[in-house]
Amino acid sequence: MRKSRFTESQIVAVLKEVEAGVPVAEVVRKAGVSKATFFTWRSKYGGATVSALARLKELEAEHTRLKRMYAELALENAAIKDVLSRTLEGRPRSGRRSRAWWTSTGSPRLVRASRYDGRGRPTTSLRRRATSATAR
């Protein structure tokens, strides 16, 4: 975007002159801008003070900095999730929900099974009950 020839404080000064009662035609001629530019300034900066505009510029800079920071963190988060999904991809999930088999009616056909985990400790898990079509 093209940078303006006028600073915000100069624009506010021009607008204050018109508010003081000087005709618009004289102010725009003295400032060297068109009437359209003047009315654009008035719609954008009307009623603002120099300190308010400085604060607005400061807030816009902070907003830009925070948006950039958020984008970097979101990218880093996505990369971490990608790496974690690759490392955990081949492992079976533990827990009841991943091992539950449901019939067409929605009732589970599960049986508790005891087994050893290889370190001498018994574990309980769920396994599918062997059912036949006649056992139902």
pLDDT above 90: residue 9? no
Q: Mean pLDDT across the stretch 92-101? A: 50
Q: What is the pLDDT at residue 120?
A: 57
User: What is the C-alpha to C-alpha distance for residues 126 and 99, in angstroms, rounded to an integer?
Assistant: 7
Buried b / exposed e across 101-133, counting CB within 10 Å, b at 16+?
eeeeeeeeebeeeeeeeeeeeeeeebeeeeeee
Same domain (yes/no): 80, 118: no
- Coil, strand or helix: which one is 135? coil
Query: Could you give the CA distance from residue 38 to residue 18 in angstroms, rounded to a whole number?
Result: 10
Pairing label, strands 122-128, 110-116? antiparallel
Per-residue model confidence as pLDDT tens digits over 30-55: 999 999 999 999 998 888 888 888 89
Q: Are residues 1 and 35 in the same domain?
A: yes
Plot region of 34 (φ>0 → left; ψ -120 to 50 → alpha; else → beta): beta
Residue 87 has pLDDT above 50, yes or no: yes
Domain assignment of residue 133, yes or no: no
Residues 87 and 100 in one domain: no
Domain span at residue 117 reads 96-128
Residue 5 lies inside a defined structural domain of this protein: yes
> For all residues of the chain together, what is the average pLDDT?
77
Under DSSP, the state recorded for 115 is E
Distance of alpha carbon 17 from alpha carbon 14, whole angstroms: 5
User: Is residue 102 assigned to a domain?
Assistant: yes
When comparing pLDDT for 50 and 72, which is higher? 72
Residue 15 CB: number of other CB atoms within 10 A?
Answer: 19
CA pair distance 65, 57, nearest whole angstrom? 12
Q: For 94, which DSSP code?
A: P
Over residues 43-69, the mean pLDDT reads 91
Is residue 28 scored above 50 in pLDDT? yes
Q: What is the mean pLDDT of residues 88-108?
A: 52
Total of domains in the chain: 3
Specify the length of the chain in residues.
Answer: 136
The whole-model pTM stands at 0.44
